[in-house]
Amino acid sequence: MSDDARTDGGTVSETSAGASDGALSGVDGYRVLLYLGLLGMLAFFLIPIESGLVTSFKTSSGVTGSLPFAPPTGGTFTLGKWQAAFDALGRGLVNSALYAIPATVISALLGSFAAYGITQSDWKPKYKAPILALFVAGIFIPYQAVLVPLSQFWSMVPIEESLGFLWSLGINDDYVGIVELIVTHVAYGLPICTVLFRSYYKNMSGEMIEAARLDGASIRRIYRRIVLPLSGPMFAVVLIYQFTQIWNDLLFTLVLVQTESSAAAPIVLILAGLGTSLEGQDFALRMAGAFIAALPTLAVYIAFGEEFAEGVAT
């Protein structure tokens, strides 16, 4: 079914596949082995997901009493764990969307600004290389290296005082963490956004921009009228990549929201503790929760697989 959904990718593969075809056509047994390998890998990637899915529909006795990859039979089928997982994670879905969507959009826009500024300014190479190096290195910084100062920083910023109008709309103090998460994810998403846009703008045709420049258009005008309208495909890649990263990140939510019992707890934070306790683990609940938490990024992946692949490959 996904073949039908994304036939556009097919053209790319067909043209290049012709190249390697000559080198390996011939032996039929060889093709059989090839497809066996491909199917074996398919099983490798799907079994954990399949096992999780069937388990999420089992009662507790069904989980212990049946094979982990066998569907629930007879009286062991239940939707109860999905119901329980949704009750636990529902508010997390909303909370995650509250910061993931704005942070994604803002970081993509700012990344586009930075990349445009760098290309527009035509920095001299001896300054450009170190600055780009700082941005590229910024992509790889482990978040642990900034956690303690980040906590210190946010404890010093009076968010309640400056954004009091939000609180008067009925949002409570728990949501301070959401505001912090937006700014934090924007700042740490900026390096990758900038680098992605920069490689795109570097290859963008300079003729129109040069002509506009000669006509006396300002830098802002060139961005608004020429660069931004041409940036659509890269925005798609960056938005999808950033949304997945921000939605999936646990560490910042753990540090900035801190407790899964907070009214503003993001979904990953609730999921990380779901179904685990000292008395034992409820795997059916954990699996149902995993699927609910994965739904938004899975939906994005199924709808925009090509852009997603491009984002991760770049």
Among positions 216-255, residues that touch another protein (CB under 8 A) are 216-221, 223, 244, 247-251, 254-255
Which of 97, 105, 117, 204 touches another protein by CB under 8 A? 117
Which of 108, 186, 196, 237 touches another protein by CB under 8 A? 186
Using alpha carbons, select from 248, 250, 140, 232 the residue that is nearest to residue 192. 140
| Cβ density class 79-93: b for 16+ within 10 Å, e for less | eebbebbeebbebbb
Based on CB atoms, which residue is closest to another protein, 80 or 117?
117
Based on CB atoms, which residue is closest to another protein, 145 or 169?
145
Residues 52-111 that bind another protein (CB under 8 A): 52, 55, 63-64, 67-69, 110-111
Q: How far from the centroid of its chain's Cα atoms is residue 125's Cα?
A: 33
Based on CB atoms, which residue is closest to another protein, 91 or 213?
213
The separation between the first and the last C-alpha atoms of the chain, rounded to the nearest angstrom, is 27
| Residue 254 C-beta: closest distance to another protein, Å | 7
Token representation of residue 148:
């303690």
Using alpha carbons, select from 178, 176, 192 the residue that is nearest to residue 253. 178
The reply on whether position 16 binds another protein by CB under 8 A is yes
The reply on whether position 207 binds another protein by CB under 8 A is no
Which of 44, 170, 205, 207 touches another protein by CB under 8 A? 44
Using alpha carbons, select from 84, 41, 49 the residue that is nearest to residue 68. 49
Based on CB atoms, which residue is closest to another protein, 4 or 87?
4
| Residue 168 C-beta: closest distance to another protein, Å | 28
CA distance 41 to 28: 20
Which of 61, 73, 83, 121 touches another protein by CB under 8 A? 121
The reply on whether position 122 binds another protein by CB under 8 A is yes
| Residue 220 C-beta: closest distance to another protein, Å | 5
Based on CB atoms, which residue is closest to another protein, 57 or 135?
135
| Residue 164 C-beta: closest distance to another protein, Å | 24
| Residue 77 C-beta: closest distance to another protein, Å | 17
How many residues of this chain interact with another protein, rule: CB under 8 A? Answer: 124
Determine contact, residues 85/289, Cβ cutoff 8 Å.
yes
Q: Hey, which residues does 277 pair with through a beta bridge?
A: 280
CA distance 138 to 128: 15
CA distance 250 to 268: 6
Which of 61, 153, 160, 206 touches another protein by CB under 8 A? 153
Residues 160-179 that bind another protein (CB under 8 A): none
User: Would you list the DSSP string of 231-270?
Assistant: THHHHHHHHHHHHHHHHH--HHHHHHT--TTSTT--HHHH
Using alpha carbons, select from 242, 256, 25 the residue that is nearest to residue 112. 242
Using alpha carbons, select from 255, 234, 258 the residue that is nearest to residue 311. 234
Residues 249-288 that bind another protein (CB under 8 A): 249-251, 254-255, 258, 268, 271-276, 281, 283, 286-287
Token representation of residue 89:
């994670």
| Residue 233 C-beta: closest distance to another protein, Å | 16
